[in-house]
Amino acid sequence: MAGVTPAVRVLVVDDERLMRAGLRLLVDGTAGIRVVGEAADGAEAVAAVAALDPDVVLMDVRMPGTSGVEATRRLTETGARARVVVLSAFDTDDHLLDALRAGAVSFLLKDAAPEAVLQAVHDAAQGRSSFSPGVLSRLVALAAQGERPAATAGRDRSGPPPGPAGPPVGVTPREWEVGLLVAQGSTNDEIAAALFLGTTTVKTHVTHLFEKLHVTNRVQLAVRVLELDAAG
């Protein structure tokens, strides 16, 4: 029917059958969401995305065989349009950062409120990010402490190296100010108000940061900025 918004098509990925059943019961047919399939590990998830073309994947992190992080990385590398929302029982730094670096747009803990999961699905379908309380602040704390999880040590990171102080090479001071506020979880409107800029100008700066720091979404941008800020 004309004017009716299509339901968000979701793939549920978890190695525990009971968890998959619970997520299906929660989201299927609720608030404009439809579950189109399930997968029990990361390899199945990649195949299911190719076959079903969902809008959003609810992805567990720790699974036997191919992990949720590796599956997310493969989906990103192959250009899959599905956006990944990680649902994890673990909020350790390595799980969090690795999932976001791999291309996940959101990170929720499995004890999140049902309403938060539903909202995260809709946000992901629109390209927006969602986090369980405290997750983004932990990223900021990591950067402030200058720490690196062992799981990420030695990884080859794309993008320009940090300069001796301030923004990385190739990034303007104003773009860097915008990036730091993105990393703090500020919206475009909040950044515009804080820096006395127009919202359109902020969006332009964010787009330039995507290109210069070789990231594809706001979450990856936040992680990359925090890394560079800590390294500087």
Q: Which CATH number does the domain housing residue 216 bear?
A: 1.10.10.10
Of 88, 104, 135, the last residue of a domain is 135
∠ CA(77), CA(80), CA(81), 5° rounding? 135
pLDDT attached to residue 164: 41
Enter the tokens of residue 153: 């040590």
Query: What's the pLDDT band for 147 if we cut at 50, 70, 90?
Result: very low
- In terms of domains, do 186 and 122 share one? no
pLDDT at 116 over 50: yes
Global model pTM greater than 0.75: no
- In terms of domains, do 34 and 104 share one? yes
For residue 128, the domain's CATH number is 3.40.50.2300
146, part of any domain: no
199, part of any domain: yes
Cβ-based neighbours of 193, under 8 Å, separated by 6 or more? none
166, part of any domain: yes
Sequence-ordered strand ranges (E) for the chain: 8-13, 33-39, 56-59, 83-88, 106-109
99 contacts 72 by C-beta, under 8 angstroms: yes
149, part of any domain: no
Q: 30 lies in which domain range?
A: 8-135
Query: What's the pLDDT band for 154 if we cut at 50, 70, 90?
Result: very low
pLDDT attached to residue 42: 96
- In terms of domains, do 166 and 61 share one? no
Of 135, 165, 184, the last residue of a domain is 135
State the pairing for strand pair 8-13/33-39: parallel
Laid out side by side, the sheet with 83-88 consists of 33-39, 8-13, 56-59, 83-88, 106-109
Please name the residue that has the structure tokens 């320009």.
160
71, part of any domain: yes
- In terms of domains, do 117 and 206 share one? no
Task: Write the DSSP symbol of residue 12.
Answer: E
Give the residue, 29 or 81, on which the prediction is more confident: 81
